[in-house]
Structure 1
Amino acid sequence: MKRSPVLSLVLVSLLPAVPAVAQDNKTPPMTPEMKAQMEAFQKAGTPGDEHRKLASLDGTYDLTVKSWHSPDAPPSTDTGTATRKMILGGRVQVEEVASQMMGQPFSGQGLRGYDNVTGKHWATWNDSMSTGLMVSEGTCDAAQSCTYTGTYHDPVSKKPVTSRMTSRWTDKNTEVFEMYAPGPDGKEAKMMEITYKKRP
């Protein structure tokens, strides 16, 4: 029976904890396959340059949130705050948002990371106006300007909706996030713009 990579890694990690049955018993040596699997898992789980770039964005931000509820109407504007910090040993960044949305208190939580295996940036988002989850994947350049494509389920149609998100830094303390999705006519329309101002 072929052993799965995950099972092999678990077994390898448990080997040092297995007590010797006899005094002359030694821990069995790892096979070349097991060594290769362990090296692959270690490489996949080790934070690198992309994770350090994310960590540089840690801090508290003041937000200006513009929301377009109709392509023909001006956006509503709200304010809020966001905090970003790295978790899981510098592998993932969590963002906590507190704001207003359509006159109601609003809170949200996002996760951002970089997958060493796929070479892609990823993000998740959920908030107090939904019980669903948005999952996105994208790319970022050296200046941390990013483009993501994400999917969520529309509350009215119950169907998945694909949105495009971009972020760019206009100066070292100001980030502009924009979100686009299909409008009533099916064409892409701007739904949201958030300006992040990092506090000193």
Structure 2
Amino acid sequence: MRKLNLTLAIIMLCFISCKKEVKTEGATINERDSIKTEEPIVEEPIDSAAQMKAWAAYATPGDAHKLMAEEVGTWNCDMTFWSQPNGKAEKAASTANIQMVLGGRYQETSYQGNIMGQPFEGKSTLAYNNASEEYTTTFIDNMGTGMVVAMGKYDEKTKSIELKGEMVNPVNGKKTPYREVYNIIDSNTRKIEMYDVKNGSEYKSMEIVMTRK
């Protein structure tokens, strides 16, 4: 069996080499000149103790996770929407139930309410990556089939997190930039501001004022 595996491996290597040679021979002079071999990324050797210490630090909840845990509980959400720049504001309300999961490493929020007369359900997760020192948020709901993902950092001066990502416009199927600003007003109040892009310009599309129950 080992001999068979070795034979198959040799045949496969020969096949790949032949393909590379044919491609190179069929290339023009300019194409041959532009062919470059990517240099492998060389990682500095790290002893096992240092690796274990790095992974332990990566997996251990810190101050950022304590900040997220302060929001555990139920919140009333006063929601305002704008479908276009300077458009008429639409109002809605929902309830957010926030909890910490997986040993206090992630924040998970479940939303329930009504939007434009339709039942609304949504779920979001918030993570703080100890290695990259940035937040990642995801959001899904029953009014679509996509997931919104955004990343950003916390600003101690403004007590806010600015998160940036992309959304897919269901009308044309194209991706557009998306921005969210999460403001910590006080221990019982949060404000979320969301910005979309329309005709090449950013505008405020939603605002949520969260008040702890």
TM (normalized to structure 1)?
Answer: 0.79
* C-alpha distance in 2 between matches for 1:129 and 1:161: 18
- Flag as ranges the 4+ runs of structure 1 deviating above 4 A: none
- d(CA) in 2 for partners of 1:179, 1:150: 11
* Unaligned stretches of 5+ residues in structure 1: 1-31
* 1:163 aligned onto 2:181: no
Q: What are the ranges of 5 or more consecutive residues in structure 2 without an aligned counterpart?
A: 1-45
Is 1:93 equivalent to 2:93 in the alignment?
Answer: no
Indicate the residue corresponding to 1:177 in structure 2: 192
Q: Show the counterpart of 1:44.
A: 58
TM-score normalised to the size of structure 2?
A: 0.74
Matched, 1:65 2:65: no
| Distance in 1 (alpha carbons) for counterparts of 2:105 and 2:164 | 21
Q: Which residue of 2 aligns with 1:150?
A: 165
Which amino acid counterpart does residue 119 of structure 2 have in structure 1?
P
**Which one has a bigger Cα radius of gyration?**
2
Alignment-derived partner of residue 138 in structure 1 = 152
Superposition deviation, residue 160 in structure 1: 1.6
**Aligned residue identity for 1:170:** I
Q: Distance in 1 between matches of 2:66 and 2:137?
A: 16
Q: How big is the shift at 1:171?
A: 3.0
Letter in 2 for 1:162: P
After superposition, the C-alpha distances for 1:77-132 in whole angstroms (9 at most, x for unaligned) are: 01110011100101000010012122211110000011001010111111111111
Q: What is the alpha-carbon distance in structure 1 between the residues aligned to residue 189 and residue 48 of structure 2? A: 47
Identity of aligned residues (%): 34
The residue number in structure 2 matching 1:33 is: 47
* Backbone CA RMSD of aligned residues: 1.7
Please identify which structure carries the higher helix content. Answer: 2
The residue identity in structure 2 corresponding to 1:116 is N
